[in-house]
A and B are shown apart, each in its own frame.
Chain A
Amino acid sequence: MKKLAAIATMLAILGLLIIPASALAAGGSSGDTSVGGTISTYYTLIAPAPIDLGTTISSAGEIAKGPFNVTVSTNDAAITTCGITVADKQAGPKGANAGHLMNGSYAMASNLILSGGDKTNTVLNAAAIPLRASSTPLATASITDFRVSQTIGTADLAHAGAYTLTLTFTATFGP
């Protein structure tokens, strides 16, 4: 996959450099005007897509999913630190149930457990969990081993329905 991505990168950059802007300037559909624009600095977060824990769960046990990639990066030379945190930011309405998969007002007995980056088997709650930080200029922080696991208890099986939770991945650039 890494090799593929590298080839894609090379193709993309090559493709861009050989396309003269003038050739594109006349393009576009009716009502569109093509212009050249520049971005001096960028700040990127790539997080996992929503995680499917399985469609039907009918027995107690543990469900584990992963690994997933999470990456933050920038080309801003003034940035000396960047970091990735994850939290259940829906804590406002959920209160003490932050970190728990919810089915209506019922919260699974166990919190979702996270691993990845600098953390192993960490209990999810409302507080931000730092997964990885970088403190170098042109900072990039990346993890490739983000995993989630959920223990299903027998009490949970009595509350059939759809369970959901939202992870908030935050990329913070500083100073």
Chain B
Amino acid sequence: MRTVFTVIVSALLAAALAPTAALAAAGFTIGLSSGPGRAPEVLPGDSYKQGVVVIAGDQEAEVLIEVLGYRQDIENGVVPIAPSEDAGPHSGREFISPGQTSIHLDAGQTKELQLHISVPQDVGDGGRYALLRFSTRAGGEGAVGVVSAIVLPFRFTIKGSQLVHAGKIAALEIPTPENGKPLSAIIDYENTGNHHYDISGQISIKNLDGALVFASPVTAASPIPGSTSQISAELRPDTILQAGTYSAEVNLMLGDGTLLDKTSTTFRIAAKYVAPPAEPSPVSPVQASPSPSRDAAAGNVTTIVVLAAGAFVLGSLGTLLATKRRRSH
């Protein structure tokens, strides 16, 4: 039996929102419904389902579903790896079976599919990583066709296994600052462990005498094992930096204070530098990745209203109301 979801409110709103037809565009939305989400803790031998809802835009769409491996790199961020090349020890690609390779949607239609997740009994330690790629086929009129693709990483933690959280700083750069703009620290960081984790730490700016001029906290999410990513921190020294040579020292740690790696470099201020005033937001200069949680689904329900015209309106409260169509055979 196939389950078809239809967003009921779209019809009720169609008349009032007719002018939004001018917003015609391609594209679609992927939603996670029932299941533990993208970053579950799983046990060897576990088997479960994860619901995925696909919502079409204002055009009929054939959405292809692929399960791929992935890595992260500095230039390109998340990089998909084709199944034929995905032989890394941390691949979780084979855990995921979408059950179908494509799904057909009429304009504005919503459908749900179930991902079947199976964790091998001999899975080993650490984290396993895979990527879901949803893409439309090119269609419609126009010399320049458009394919829309949404790429969604999945990160599995093998519960009860030995998680190794380790890494090293591959490079640290402090670009020459411009007056009135924040000082930047760019850190290339490689995950040499077997699992992803949150990073905290500190960047200290010192003068040639070794006196501390300014320090700023750093929080970031590690790349997946074997990958390198870039951590960019904005620093806003609360004192004027006179022309001269300074040192920047970075210490990166786990949440429990365990040192991951540290390094330092020097940089030169050619003329007196004044940082912009601190922004009122209390967040730290580098944004952290909050720990994913199974509870997120219960406390963070968001309404997606698909307009008749195909534009998406996203609300922060409410429930997606769906119609389940039973097909007789």
Contact = CB atoms under 8 A, between A and B. Distances in A.
Interface residues of B, number: 91
Interface in B278-329: 287-292, 296-298, 300-305, 307, 311-328
B201 interface: no
Interface in A73-97: 73, 75-78, 80-81, 83, 89
B300 A40 contact: yes
Interface SS of chain B: mixed
B315 A9 contact: yes
A175 B146 contact: no
Q: How large is the interface on A (under 10, 10 to 19, 20 to 34, 35 or more residues)?
A: 35 or more
Given A31-B328, A45-B27, A49-B25, A78 B290 contact: yes
Nearest to B33: A39
A39 B328 contact: no
Interface stretch (B12-20, B206-214, B266-274): B12-20
A41 B37 contact: yes
A126 interface: no
A58 interface: no
Interface of A: 1, 4-5, 8-9, 11-13, 15-17, 19, 21, 24, 27-28, 31-53, 65, 68-69, 73, 75-78, 80-81, 83, 89, 101, 112, 128, 130, 133, 135-137, 148, 162-175
Give 5 closest A-B pairs by Cβ, nearest first.
A50-B142, A40-B297, A39-B31, A51-B144, A46-B27
11 contacts: A9-B314, A13-B313, A37-B322, A39-B53, A43-B30, A49-B25, A50-B138, A89-B147, A167-B147, A173-B151, A175-B221
